[in-house]
Chains A and B, each alone.
Chain A
Amino acid sequence: MSVCLDIRRLSAVLPNGQRVLRSVSLAVQPGEVRALVGESGAGKTMIGKAVLGVLPKSVRIVEGEMLIEGEDLGRLDAKARRNLIGARTALIPQDPLTALNPSRRIGAQMTDRLIRILGWSGDRADKRIRQLLDEVQIRDPQRVLKSYPHELSGGMRQRVLIAAAFAAEPRLIVADEPTTALDVTVQKQILRLIAQLQRDHGTAILFVTHDLGVVAKISQKVSVLYAGKVVEEAETAQLFAAPQHPYTRALIAATPRYTDPYASLKPVDKTVLKGLTAEIEAADKAWRPGHG
């Protein structure tokens, strides 16, 4: 089986020449959850957008390859690329309220993609959506399908978007901070659902998050990002057992743990940040676009 998502030495720049992604390499195997973790500005959402082909116009990819199930996106023309991304990937967004159209009913929005992009019949799409609503434990699908987004709670809206993401059986889902806006008790339910559906459907997930707690619970592999650079990647269990990079160790120590208040919440040491800056500068100096 080919690698589900393979990103090789991906670099992107802003119009002023500043690098926002620095030779990022990462792979997601079929059916596995890879977390992309980092603080704001680390480029984790940018990578998700690059995979989905929705980078802002100002960001230009200057080197590297992205392959979805062995097909190199860079070798396809725009239409073929859109079709491939549309058929094999899906997104679970951070904020379900902005991701849903406020003036259309949930049902229409959920079947849209199946009917218009994949060319399914209305009946088939409707049946599929009901099946998925059942999988995300929505007990009254009739009411939900007829509702407008504002009539549902945050947790319900996120369930709807999870169902929609899995409906077309994508090979890869990009989940971009899907629980960040939710209360903790709802977050736990939603993470459970994502894990359950991911297992049942054998879907690979690129899970973008700032929360190492979420990383520990949901992922099998993890890439730690800083300033658009992968500073460490490991199996998740390994990362928490023996973090290698000083920044990873600092992030873990800064994350609050109510079970151990005095060993957690440690401010990140200045020498760690200085070391990171030096590392990034050295990498930029050695970097020649287009020549690896």
Chain B
Amino acid sequence: MAEPLFSVRGLKLALPDMTRKPLVGRAPLAEILKGLDFDLPKGSVTGIVGESGSGKSTLGRALVRLLEPSAGSIGFDGRDISHLSEAELRPLRRDLQMIFQDPMSSLNPRHTIFNIIAAPLRQNGLGDRLKERVAEALQRVGLPQNFASRYRHELSGGQRQRVGIARALALSPKFVLADEIVSGLDVSTQAQILTLLERLAAEMGLTVAFISHDLSVIRRLCQQVIVMREGRIVEASATDALFEHPKETYTRDLLAAIPLPEIDPDWLQPQAPA
């Protein structure tokens, strides 16, 4: 196994629970991540799967340090980044990139696609040869060059998500967090985006955390899978092992709940009591 890019130990994270916030005063803290240990090997794609409320997105946001852990450590490239200040994080930002779920709300409506892709390049001292770099970024994700002068509303959902990928990869980051990036897309577009990400991750040797509520899109793309539930890791293993021999009941339930596109008259029958 390659050496880890991320090495996470005892990660805990608490956030204010706004549903229990008193009218006056602070909201009490709720522990979202309850002690996680795992590695993300360099150059690998790891699926992070769970149902709503499992903490998968919070974990993602902790990895790119949009959130600060309340305990434990996040080792990134040999350095503990769990409590770095914003200023200390700045030089690391170009290596920690994100692709978002909804490209409609993550692309600025008033900027051209050129400026959307160029902005992080400028901010990270790559402002020279901008035209060339943006052209390269568009080409990488299979968008025509004349898209540079368009706006997000002129693009289809799949094209917008390609722009999101182009922006994240323009900086040649070490790590990319992809949080539910295909869940808003039609199946035909979803397949295109997944195969694109699969190819780029391999070509550029990216380390990717692919967060999804849908185990069925994970198998093809990811080398290893982390299954989460209620802020804990239920099961983590190599992808084929997880799908072929899931150890935990919860993983088996998740797999059994996916409606495969094939006829199975028994699927809707009530389960026999255990």
Contacts and interface: CB of A to CB of B under 8 A. Distances in A.
Contacts of B264: 216-217
The DSSP consensus for interface residues of chain A is helix
Nearest to A188: B257
Given A185-B253, A217-B259, A265 B188 contact: no
Interface in B238-259: 243, 253-259
A201 interface: no
B272 interface: no
A258 B188 contact: no
Contacts of B191: 254, 256, 265-268
Interface residues of A, number: 42
Given A184-B214, A191-B268, A218-B268, A259 B188 contact: no
B-side interface size class: 35 or more
Nearest to A257: B260
A144 B263 CA distance: 35
Contacts of A192: 268, 270
A71 B190 CA distance: 42
Given A185-B253, A217-B268, A254 B260 contact: no
A179 to B, nearest CB: 9
Contacts of A259: 243, 260
B262 A240 contact: yes
A213 B260 CA distance: 5
Interface in B195-247: 195, 213-220, 243
A210 B187 contact: yes
Interface in B107-144: none
Contacts of A186: 51
A265 B220 contact: yes
Given A216-B263, A254-B191, A258-B255, A265 B217 contact: yes
Interface of B: 51-52, 157, 186-188, 190-192, 194-195, 213-220, 243, 253-264, 267-268, 270
9 contacts: A154-B52, A183-B51, A188-B259, A191-B268, A196-B270, A217-B259, A217-B264, A256-B187, A258-B219
